[in-house]
Structures are given as C-alpha cells and as structure tokens.
Structure 1
Amino acid sequence: MACFFIAPGIDGEPNQSPFAPAPSKAQQACVSCRKQKRKCDKILPTCSLCARMARPCDYTATDTISQQQQPAQASSEELATLQARLSELENRLNHASQSQAPPLPPHPSPPIMHLDPEPLPSLPPKPPSPLWCPSAVPSRFPTSLFLDLDAFNWSTTPIPAPNTPIPSEVLDILSRGTTVQDTATEYFQGTHAWFPFISKKRMELGLSLWEAGPELAFLFLGMKLVSTPVNNGVEPPGNPLYIAAKRFWASLEQAGSVSLQFLQGMVLVTVYELGHGIYPAAWISVGVLGRWVEVLGLPGFRGGGGVLGSVTTWTESEERRRVWWAIYILDRYICLGNKKRFCLPEPDESFVLPVDDKAFDEGNPTLSPTHPLTTPLTTPNLSPFPRLVQSALLLSRTLTHIRTVTSSNIHSRPLPFSLPALTSLVNDLTTFTTTLQPPSTPSSTSTLLPSPPPNISLLPPLSLTLSTLLLLFDTYSTPENQHLGPSPLPGPEAPPLQSPSHILFAQQSMLGLRETSLQIRDLSLDLLDLLVLPSQEKKLSPLCLDSLYASMATLHWLWKEAGEPEIREALEDVRRCISRTSMRWRVSKEYLEIIRRQDVSFAMAFRAESK
C-alpha cells in the first residue's frame, strides 16, 4: 500500500496532496486571517488555518473590513471588567420586578486606592425587601472541613472562591465618585487610630475591587459603616449601610466565603452594633466571630485545616494576630455589663502581644521587638493597641474572678480566691491605670502642674481598665458578697460573715468606688475638650463609654445616698460628656435612658413610702 507524506507548509498549514483535485478559492482572505494578519490560503468553504484552529471561517465581510480600521483585540483587563459588568447587569435584571433602575454608565476597574469612576445617577426609592435573599447558586464549600477534618486534610481539597456577585446596592454605595478612596482615608484617620487590625500597608498595594472579589467589597462596606456617623432622625438599626452590610454578610456566608477580609468586615459590622447599642445582634455577632476564628485557625494558620494557607509576609502574619486580638477584646468588653461567659479561650504562652503600631502600618518588622504576654504592665513606650490588649487581659482575669465569687456564694461554699491574689489584682489594675495616664509636669516652683490631656488613642485601654476597677470594687462593696452564703439578711439563719480581712477589703472597695468614679469624671472633662475638634471625634472609641456609664451610675447612687454637692456636680459633668458622645455612638443614649429610668423608679418608690 502506498503512503503519501504531507509536508507542512507555511504557517504550519499542511500542503495538499499532488493527487487531490485543485480546491476552489475565494478572491480575498477570510475575516479571521485578516484580523490576525496571517497568510490565508483562501480555500472554500474553510481555509486551512481556520480548520486547524477549529473556528468559523467567514469570507462575507472582507470587503467591509478592508475599508475600515481593524478593531483592537480586547485585553485581559477589559475582559475582566466586562465580565464583572455583566454580573452586575444580571443582578440588576434579577431585581427588575422590584424596581426599574436607569441604564448604568460604563464602570472601569482601576486600583482600589485610586478608584474614580463616573458617578451613578440617583436611583428611585425601592420598595421594602427582605434582609437577605437566598442565592440560586449552591455553596461549593467542602463540608468535610466540619464533618471530618482528617479527611479534609488528607484530601487536600481546595477552598473555592465564593460564587456570588457583589450586590447592586453595595455597588451603588461604593461606586459613587471617590467613595472607596474617601472611605479608606476616613477609616485610617479614625477607627484605625484605636483599633488597628487591618494592614494599612497591604491595603495601599492597590488591589482591584473586581479582582479581589466580593469579600473586599464587604470589607470596604464595613469600613464605611463604622466611619460614617448616623444621621439625625435615622435609627442605627435602620441605617441603609447597616442593612446592606447585614444582607451582604448573610449572602457571603451562604455562598461559603472564608477569607480574612470577610472576617475583618464582620468585625467592623460588630463594632457598629456594639457602638450603637444594637442588641442582641451585637452579642450574637461576637459569638459568630468566635466561631470564625476557629474555622480560619487564627491567630496562626495550623489549626484551621489550611483554610487561609501559610503566611507569606511578616505583615500578613501580624495582621492575622491582630484580627484575633481584636475579636478577643470585643469578646471581653461585651461581657462587662452582664458578666456572662466568653466565647474565645484564654491565650496560652505561645501568644504574643501585637507589635508596635507604627511598625505594623509601615510593614517594617525591624522597628519593634516582639513582647510576650508576661510583659510587665509598666513597660514604657508600648503602642495603644498592645495596651488595649493588656487591659482586655486584666478585664478577663477580673471577670473570671467575679464569676467564681458569685458562684461560690450561690452554692454556699467558701471563697476559693485568696485575699493576697485579690489584692494583687487590684494593684495591677491601679498600676496600669497610672501607667496609661500622662505624668504631671513639674514647674519651676517644684509644684506639679495639672496633667496634660491624655492621647485619645490611649483612652480605650485607660477607660477599659477603669471600668474593670469599678466592676471589681462594686462586687465587694455589696452586702451579699460579705457573707459566705447567698443570704445577707440578718438573723439566726444568716450565713456567717467573711474574715475580718475580707470585711476590711469591702470597706476599701467603697472608697475605691468613689475615688475611681471621680477619676473618670476628670477624664470625661478632658474628653469633652478633645471632642471639640472633629478630627478627634472620629477617633472616639465605643470602648470608652462603659467607664463613663459606670461612673455615672456610681455617682448617681452616692448622690442619692448622701446628697453631697461635690458628687452632684461630678455626676452632671459625666452626664454631659455621655450626652456629647451620643453624637458619635448612639449607645450613649441607651446609658442615659437607664439612669433616667432609675430616677423615675426612685421617685415613684419615694412617693409610695411617703403616703
């Protein structure tokens, strides 16, 4: 049998066999070859190059194409932009039955720190919609991570990206003018000053909003949420930014999103709920954050089954550590008023304090050494965020002790906490309070001038420590905690009193309540001076507000008992400061309402007794 070898011709097309009949040819090259500027053999109905590439071969539009300039082939960036735009339009069409939106202008995709698209036209008001709508696309998250972690690790199953588009309402918020750039500026000048758990350096790298996916959009929505004061006449739960964030949160969870940016956005939404008194949502959100750190394996990466993967830079490792500490702080702070149990466990000896805030912002590991958890409280030159961590550790230690004391009294058992250990706790709290306050300035006459106002970034750890002191003193100043049993009533059935040393400590606690409340009163006057400047108001932390309320409640009680003019004046100063902070955080109004209700109850009880 004879065999014929077909040698390749120009551009890789095979030559025709010499025994084959001559094929018919077109007069001009096909459209595809002209676009690619490749040599076309003009064979009908399909040229050799189009046949080899398995693409349609068209000769009909060659005359028209030859008369005009060839269009440039779309780049990968343009294709990514068009793909994101298509997803946005599809999402718009899905909601067409609810509202009729005007046509959208072209939407570019520049770097996130330089995003400056054309502003969107104002949309007509939409009818009320549910908090979140279930996605038609099922989650692709591997359930073996929760059902059988060993099987997940052995299979090395990858975590897929969430298959969900950015909601149109979120795009409407983030795509107006320079919203993203302004949001980043406001956030890093405000909230970041007291809660620096997002890397400013990594954010400035300029990741594209479209390339990063919906998690980054959710993070920026959370940044805008905590940076934008709530307008008068709008209740915080009804804030459109908050509603959009909660809806986006639910849709990302349903889509199986697991990323550090998603968790950071959830932290910011929780800060908003906590600062504006949105309960029980804030309490539930903190518990959800506690679950998420276990899923992601924070603060390291070995305990999460490889969800986040290994860190690649020092800044990324420090950012993960700070996210864990941020959730730890919120978990302890939200238990101040109710003394309930924590969600996160206590850190072990492998944990370290956050590094210097400036080193973290600049991404420079040489600017700050690593400090263990056993670092003395009097160590100088620690940044505000490590100080905030130290105050949260003292709060956790105090709340654990208080729960032990109250549980012992309920079950009529002797106190398991020794008095020396209790005295050591009080000494640590008072020492740390002194460390956080600026020292007085000596004058030329060897007298001390008034202390300068504290740095507003150091107010959260100072306020948290003073709240802890008031909580501890209040626990031991109450009559029921001076007995070994649950009943403080006198009589033969009353449980025996504590030891004389415990009774002495209870008396000292009464004095500590008064002195600490007056100390917070001085702090509130300094805070009022700071809040005159708008640049300082945006840095106000909601973690400062519990100490103001605890001081106001204590002064209110002391004034009702003795009627001292000094206490009444201090009470009004603290009340005035709380009223001023309500312009930034609405939870202050809730604190004022609690005191008002106590006044009404006291007046009603006094009136009933006088009849």
Structure 2
Amino acid sequence: MSTRYAPQACVPCRTLKRKCTKELPSCSLLHKDCGYPTPLRIRSARPEEVTVLSDRVKLLEQRLNGDASQGVNSDYATQPQFQGASLTLEVTNTHRLEFPAEFFLELENYRPMPPDHLNAKMFVPSDILRFLESKDSMQALFARYMTGTHSWLPILWNRRTAEKIDSFDESMESGLVLLLLCIKLVTDPPTEQDNAASTPLYRTAKGLCFRLENSCSLSLHLLQSVVLIAVYELGHGIFPGVQLTIAHAARLGIITGLHDRKHAPQLFKDPDTYKMREEERRTWWAIVILERYMNLGTYGQPLATPEPLQGTLLPCSEDSWDNQGGRLASNVPLFASSFSLTTEIGSYASTCQAAHILGLVLRHRDEQNTVVSDTHYRIAEAQRLHKTLVLLSLHLSGQATMDTHNVTNNFTAMGLCYAARVALYNMYACNEHYSATEARLGEETEMQQASIDGLKEVTQCVYQFAHSILDVAILDDQLISRSLLLTHSLYFAASELAWFIREMNYAEDVQFLKVIVELLTVMSRTWRVAKQYLKILEEDGSLASLTT
C-alpha cells in the first residue's frame, strides 16, 4: 500500500520549524496524529473582476505593440489611466505634460513653449474608434463638416486638418482625436428619440475633454473642440452647460493669450505661418461671437471675454482662408478711421463686426441698471448704436441683394445685427418705466420713436429673411444646419409681431408671424433650441393669432 502525503507540513512541524515528512495520517517525526491545515478554497472571480483584468491585459498589449513599433525606451513615461475609462495618454517624456508653474507663479522667469508642447500623444482606444470608424469615414465626416458648420463658423484651417486626418493612426495627437469627436458631434445631430445631453457621443467628447485638461494637455485643437461642444449645447438647448462651456473656452483662450497678443502673457510661441495665426484669430472670434449671442436672452451677467482692443484685426476673406483665391489676404482692422472701397471683407468678418456691436448693446443695456451715468450721455450712446446698426443692416442686405449667393453666407451676421437692434429698441420703445422724479429729455422721445419704427422695420426684414431661407432650404438641405445663430432674431421678431397684432391686428403682421414660426418649426428638426423658443411663444400667448 503506497504512502499518502499531505500538500503542506503539519501544524506542529510548522510551529517548531522542523522539516516535516508530510506523511498521512501522521508524519514520521511525531508518530502520532498530526493536524494538517485545511486546504483553502479558491474563490471564483466575479465577472467585473474578469472584465477589469481583461482591460488591463489589452492595455498592456497595446502599450507593448506601440513600444515595439516606435522603438520607445524602457523609461517611456506614461500618464496614469483615469478611473472608469480606457483613455490613456502616452507622452514621449515626462516634461511634455507638466504645465510650467512659472507661468502663474513667476511670469518673469517663463519662456513661451512651442505650440504643440502640451499636445500629448494618445493611443486611441476602441470606445473612441467606434465613433470615428475608419480613415475614409473621417475624411467623409470632415467633408460634411466643411459644408455645414464651417460655412458659418470657419475656425479650422482646411488643409492642415485634412492632412492630419490623412495621416491618422492609432497613436495620434490627443487634441486632434478630441477635435474629430467634436466635428462628428456638430455634424451628425442626435435622433429625435435621443436625449441630446446624454448621447454616448456627447458624453464621450465631454469626458475626453475633461481628461485631457486634467492631464495638462492644452492646444489650439483642444480649444476648438470646446468651441464645437458649445455649438452643440447651444443648438440643442443644453442649459446651463452651454453657458459654462463658453466661459470655459474664454478662460482657456485668455490663458494662452489669444485675446491680446501684444500685452497679455503668451503661453506658446508665435505661430510659424500666417495661416496658423489666422486660425488662432478665428477661434478667439468664435468664442466672442458665441458668448455675446448667448447673453441676448439674459442680463446682468458679466462677459467672460473682454471687449476687442483698438488694434484688433478681423478675419480674412473666405476665399483666401479656404485657398480658393490662391493668395494670402490682408486683415481689415475692427476699428479704423477710414474705409477703403477696394478692401474685401468676408462673411465671417461681417459676423465678427455684428457680434462686436451686439456686445456694445449688451453692455449699454446692463449698465443702465448698474452704473450711474448722465442721461444725456446714455441717450446719445443709444442713438449712436442705433445709427451704427442701421448702417450695418443696410450694408449686409445690400451685399445680399447684389449677390444672391451671399444670402446664405451673410445670414449669420444679419441675424446678429437684427437681434442687436431688437435688444436696443426694447429698452427705449416704452418710456413709461422711467422715474417720475427725474428730469425728462426731448431726446428720449426721439429715441422712443426711432425704436418703434426700428422694431417695425426689423420684423419686416426678418420676415423677408425667413421667407428667403425657406425658399432656398428646399434646394439646399444643409442650409438649416447653418442657421443656428438666427434663432434668437426669429424669436425676437415673432414676439414683437405678436405685440403689433395685439395693438393693431394687421393681417400683414399675422402673415409675417406665420412664416417666422414655420421657419422655427423647420429648424427645430435640426436644432432643438428652436423648439424651446416655440414653446416660450406658445406659453406666453404670442401664437394665439395663428389659431383664430
């Protein structure tokens, strides 16, 4: 009969630290029953533990494959993986993702970095690649973006972005990966069944943006991505998220010094090319435009972006920016003592001009209740703003009349201009709210009459504008996607028309209101914020005349 052995030493031998023979039922050293420890039962792994282990193995394989293909040394430094996601930044040295503390603690000791110094490389995980799909899909996506959002918010350098997409692989600049996600976000709208604030694509883009910033990754692509996230949130009425995102974009732009290239600290060195500097200028202007538009419906909230400086330049023309003209173009100053009749001003530059004047109107509106000013000065400023807006309206409508193609290019600027006029006129169209103890001025009556006449003119212009867009939209299915910044001017006009109908009940005004509501309804299929405007109009009784 063969001797059986225990897998471990008996308890007495282990206690006395003697070499045990492990014989059963007792070891030969003691010649009596020994106590052997009960074998441990191995617990089966839980499913979530298996998933975590599998993810770690895949991550290690991905790192090893990347190291082998790139010849990375053993001291290759990585950022820690963020909990709850498989997004891991890979950088070639530890300094690249270390933000220079001197920039905030002792600016005199700081020297600007190269523009891509904080633009880390990342291995693109599968949960992001499933949105971007293949290189062909990304190229097709970018082509659709160029005919959509880019046509009214042209902040990307077409050639440089296209070249980076052509060279896309699984180890790319983190800023470009985020930018592509955000391009898809604003190009492919959510379905009617989806909640725009909780779609997987939106949450992935917001999550990646947070993780990149938390890793001190900062680049122009990241800032442009934040701008596009704000466009998505604005278009689908995600509040207060859009307000926070725009303010966040403003702070990022101010940190890098885009608001003042001459006097403000510059985080990065000057761009190597004119096109890259123009791309920075256009991105900053986009933040200015969105913030001023966002403050149309509210008041008393200080702007996060400062007013443009005296030497601020406008973006160049679209032909030069998109290389259609085959030449570099000049930049027209925002403030100039005289104008040249031969100077070409693009549609985006016109939008920037309209946004700047809108900002002046918003400041004038908010200072009325917060700053003690001379009544003469306040009325005089209102009259100057009125005349400036009228001239800008004539200029923009004149361009549209001369070239029907410009209707679709200039309508963003026209929408901002009309909204600014309504915001100004609403302050002075009724003068009964002034204190009875204050001295009244004859200029107040003049401004009141100009405001009433201006409201009537603007509502007619917006009606004609809306009618033209509905006609063109039949042939151009992309037109509505380019009309986001028109929504507030449409809402303003609808609200004023409802007031005219209550006061005078003209059949013409009812027809105007019907067309504007029709356009808002069409727009709501692409931009959900239009549906929110319609809901407000319905609840305050502005649409009652359309049901009688």
The TM-score normalised by the length of structure 1 is: 0.69
| Aligned pairs for 1:412-427 within 5 A | 414-415=374-375, 417-427=377-387
**How far, CA to CA, are the matches of 2:351 and 2:496 in structure 1?**
24
**How far, CA to CA, are the matches of 2:429 and 2:53 in structure 1?**
60
1:222 to 182, 204, 216: 182
| 1:69-107 Cα distance to aligned partner (Å, 9 max, x none) | xxxxxxxxxxxxxxxxxxxxxxx9758579x99x99xx9
Which residue of 2 is the match for residue 209 of structure 1? Answer: 168
Which residue of 1 is the match for residue 441 of structure 2? Answer: 499
**Counterpart residue identity of residue 217, structure 2:** S
2:531 pairs with 1:594? no
CA contact (8 A) 1:388 1:460 kept: yes
Where 1:369 maps in the other structure, the secondary structure is: coil
Which residue of 2 is the match for residue 431 of structure 1? Answer: 391
Q: 1:405/1:390 Cα in 2 relative to 1: closer, same or farther (>3 Å)?
A: same
Where structure 2 has 5 or more consecutive residues not aligned to the other structure, the ranges are 1-49, 67-81
Which residue of 2 is the match for residue 565 of structure 1? Answer: 507
Which residue of 2 is the match for residue 383 of structure 1? Answer: 346
Where 1:209 maps in the other structure, the secondary structure is: coil
Alpha-carbon offset, residue 527 of structure 1: 1.0
| Aligned pairs for 1:348-363 within 5 A | 348-362=309-323
**Counterpart residue identity of residue 215, structure 1:** G
Where 1:550 maps in the other structure, the secondary structure is: helix
| 1:119-171 Cα distance to aligned partner (Å, 9 max, x none) | xxxxxxxxxx9997997999633333233333433999995543754343211
**How far, CA to CA, are the matches of 2:116 and 2:344 in structure 1?**
43
2:231 pairs with 1:271? yes
CA contact (8 A) 2:119 2:175 kept: no
Q: 1:584/1:553 Cα in 2 relative to 1: closer, same or farther (>3 Å)?
A: same
Alpha-carbon offset, residue 273 of structure 1: 0.7
2:295 pairs with 1:295? no
**Counterpart residue identity of residue 343, structure 1:** A
Which residue of 2 is the match for residue 369 of structure 1? Answer: 330
2:154 pairs with 1:166? no
Q: 1:556/1:318 Cα in 2 relative to 1: closer, same or farther (>3 Å)?
A: same
2:144 pairs with 1:186? yes
Alpha-carbon offset, residue 468 of structure 1: 0.5
Which residue of 1 is the match for residue 100 of structure 2? Answer: 142
2:365 to 383, 402, 414: 402
**How far, CA to CA, are the matches of 1:179 and 1:95 in structure 2?**
32
CA contact (8 A) 2:316 2:332 kept: yes
Which residue of 2 is the match for residue 24 of structure 1? Answer: none
Where 2:377 maps in the other structure, the secondary structure is: coil
The TM-score normalised by the length of structure 2 is: 0.76
**How far, CA to CA, are the matches of 1:131 and 1:433 in structure 2?**
51
CA contact (8 A) 1:273 1:281 kept: yes
2:501 pairs with 1:579? no
| Aligned pairs for 1:510-521 within 5 A | 510-521=452-463
Which residue of 2 is the match for residue 457 of structure 1? Answer: 409
Aligned-residue CA RMSD (Å): 3.7
**Counterpart residue identity of residue 313, structure 1:** T
**How far, CA to CA, are the matches of 2:394 and 2:306 in structure 1?**
28
1:195 to 144, 147, 153: 153
**How far, CA to CA, are the matches of 1:397 and 1:325 in structure 2?**
15
CA contact (8 A) 1:335 1:341 kept: no
**How far, CA to CA, are the matches of 2:115 and 2:156 in structure 1?**
28
**How far, CA to CA, are the matches of 1:407 and 1:592 in structure 2?**
32
Alpha-carbon offset, residue 539 of structure 1: 4.9
Where structure 1 has 5 or more consecutive residues not aligned to the other structure, the ranges are 1-91, 109-128, 443-450, 486-493, 604-611
**How far, CA to CA, are the matches of 2:323 and 2:52 in structure 1?**
44
CA contact (8 A) 2:249 2:287 kept: yes
Which residue of 2 is the match for residue 532 of structure 1? Answer: 474
Farther off after superposition, 459-468 or 508-517:
508-517
Farther off after superposition, 582-591 or 138-147:
138-147
**How far, CA to CA, are the matches of 1:558 and 1:238 in structure 2?**
40
**How far, CA to CA, are the matches of 1:95 and 1:281 in structure 2?**
35
| 1:512-536 Cα distance to aligned partner (Å, 9 max, x none) | 2122112111111111112223443
| 1:297-319 Cα distance to aligned partner (Å, 9 max, x none) | 21576667553322111111111
Which residue of 2 is the match for residue 20 of structure 1? Answer: none
CA contact (8 A) 2:233 2:239 kept: yes
Farther off after superposition, 557-566 or 421-430:
557-566
**How far, CA to CA, are the matches of 1:154 and 1:311 in structure 2?**
11
1:467 to 382, 405, 419: 419
CA contact (8 A) 1:315 1:363 kept: no
Percent identity, aligned pairs only?
A: 25
Where 2:258 maps in the other structure, the secondary structure is: coil
Which residue of 1 is the match for residue 9 of structure 2? Answer: none
Which residue of 1 is the match for residue 429 of structure 2? Answer: 477
CA contact (8 A) 1:191 1:227 kept: yes
Which residue of 2 is the match for residue 32 of structure 1? Answer: none
Alpha-carbon offset, residue 185 of structure 1: 0.4
Alpha-carbon offset, residue 172 of structure 1: 1.3
2:501 pairs with 1:542? no
Where 2:394 maps in the other structure, the secondary structure is: helix
